[in-house]
Structure 1
Amino acid sequence: MGKITPFLMFQDGNAEEAMNFYTSLFEDSEITSIVRYGANEAGPEGTVLQATFTLKGQEYMCIDSYVKHKFDFTPSFSSFVTCDSEQELNNLYHTLVEGGQELMPLDNYGFSKKFGWVNDRFGVSWQLNLPL
């Protein structure tokens, strides 16, 4: 068996924008490959047929789906980020929640010094934690 990789399906043609946003937030992150739809292919020309990117060494895959589904991202699957400082956590939280949705505001919930949970503007869910 090969490795297991989180997979994100974007339905609004913004996979590349999301990858650029995420890799700009986390150091040691990069887009590693992009294959785009060409002319006369199933998806809109130039959108992402398949791409991979890494965030702090964790590989993700993503696509721009040309099929509109009745489902989208759900917070029941999220990326859990362990932050090194309160400033780092605050910066990530405020950047990710902009245009998105606050699920759990920044606070001390007893299991960490500070924690917050958001859906970003693309609908992807992030848990941000500053450990005890």
Structure 2
Amino acid sequence: MLVQPYLFFNGRCEEALNFYREKLGAEVLFQTHFRDAPPDSGHTPAPGTEDKIMHCTFRIGTTELMGSDGNCEPGADKPGGFSLSLTADDKASGEKLFNALADGGNVMMPWQPTFWTEGFGMLVDRFGIMWMVTIPHDKGYKS
């Protein structure tokens, strides 16, 4: 069994993919737009959403995620009830990734040492996705 995050960007999926490409080195593996749905599928895109992303698969590191523009409804709720956890190889790369994701977002817990690791931080990126960035736990680490 495989569990994969599926993220809805409420009309900002392409912008999010470009952001994750630039900041995290994401690679888009598959992408289809609402206009690409076959006429006999029963799905007619809402006017103005034809060029929005109906579905995509992208990779960050070794993890594949999926995403969509969703229904593109004004005032839609931001994603909630989950966080993506990104584990960097070391303190310097963790801090760099944290700062990259924080660009245009909201830092909830600044990048800092904690009682379990030399580097950890929490933020909500500019697309409303919550991230926890950390480095591997060092069993000998003491704050």
TM-score by structure 1 length? Answer: 0.84
Alignment of 1:11-26 (within 5 A): 11=10, 13-26=11-24
Larger radius of gyration: 2
Q: Which residue of 1 aligns with 2:7?
A: 8
Q: Which residue of 2 aligns with 1:41?
A: 44
Separation (CA, whole Å) in 2 of partners of 1:102 and 1:42: 36
The percent identity for this pair of structures is 27
Alignment gaps of 5+ in structure 1: none
Separation (CA, whole Å) in 1 of partners of 2:45 and 2:12: 17
Which runs of 4 or more aligned residues in structure 1 lie more than 2 Å from their structure 2 counterparts after TM superposition? 23-27, 66-71
Kindly provide the CA deviation profile for residues 11-64 of structure 1, in whole angstroms up to 9, marking residues without a partner as x: 1x111121222133334x410111102299324121001111111121111111
Kindly provide the CA deviation profile for residues 60-109 of structure 1, in whole angstroms up to 9, marking residues without a partner as x: 111112253753212x4122111122221121111111211111111122
Residue 70 and residue 16 in structure 1: after superposition, are their counterparts in 2 closer, same or farther (change >3 A)? closer
TM-score by structure 2 length? Answer: 0.78
RMSD: 2.1
Is the 1:35–1:49 Cα contact (8 Å) retained in structure 2?
Answer: yes
- Name the SS of the counterpart of 2:4 in structure 1: coil
Higher strand share: 1
Is the 2:23–2:101 Cα contact (8 Å) retained in structure 1?
Answer: no
Q: Which residue of 2 aligns with 1:92?
A: 97
